[in-house]
Amino acid sequence: MFEKLLILFLVSSVKFVFAFPLALRYNFPFPLTLLITSAGGISGVLFFAFLSEEIIVFYHWLVYKHLIRFPKTHSFAKALKQIYRRIFPKKQKKVFSNSSKRFIKIKQTYGLGGIAILTPLIFSIPIGTFLAIQFYKRTRKTIFILCLAVIFWSVVFSMIVHFTDFRY
């Protein structure tokens, strides 16, 4: 039982939407599903909110200090660098990919609330939290709104899975 709870907790902290069919498969009751998925999603938001800057620093350390030195991993390092530059272009270049244009349009149209609502549903918790932190700084307000969105979707999906015949 503990293993199932831990798996549900970890899945809901990374890819929130996939946790509810898993809870249904494990035959968890509604309150337990709501509690574990909310706790997992909130812990995922907190984990990635406080580690997003460290992940970028680690990426720079890995690519620029170590991977470029070795010829066999040079193509891998180049690919990582291209992906990073596509998401975060250098300041002097104003080149935007389609995905970065989409994220900026979401930010300008819907703001932090839109990113927070779409995070558990579409983006996944790590990507949505990373975007919110990059666009709106890591403040209590940002983290609180992301956590509220996780709780909202946890209630909605738990009710859909447990009280209807709808299965996704």
pLDDT tens readout for residues 148-165: 999 999 999 999 988 887
Question: Is residue 119 within 8 Å of residue 37, measured between CB atoms?
Answer: no
Place of tokens 């350390």: 61
Domain residue limits at 59: 2-163
Residue 168 in domain: no
Residue 31 in domain: yes
* Number of structural domains the chain divides into: 1
Give the C-alpha separation, 15 to 29, whole Å.
20
Q: Residue 167 corresponds to which amino acid? A: R
Q: What is the pLDDT of residues 19-63, one digit of tens each?
A: 998 998 998 999 999 999 999 999 999 999 988 778 878 877 777
Residue 46 in domain: yes
Examine the pLDDT at 86 and tell me if it is beyond 90. no
Residue 6 in domain: yes
* Least confident interval from 64-68, 84-88, 151-155: 64-68
Q: What is the pLDDT of residue 99?
A: 72
The enclosing H or E element of 24 equals helix 19-25
- Whole-model pTM: value is 0.74
Count Cβ atoms below 10 Å from residue 125 Cβ, excluding itself: 27
Mean pLDDT, range 93-121, rounded to an integer: 79
Three-class DSSP labels, 21-74: HHHHHCCCCHHHHHHHHHHHHHHHHHHHHHHHHHHHHHHHHHHHHHHHHCCCCH
Q: Is 9 helix (H, G, I), strand (E, B) or coil?
A: helix
Residue 106 in domain: yes
Residue 45 in domain: yes
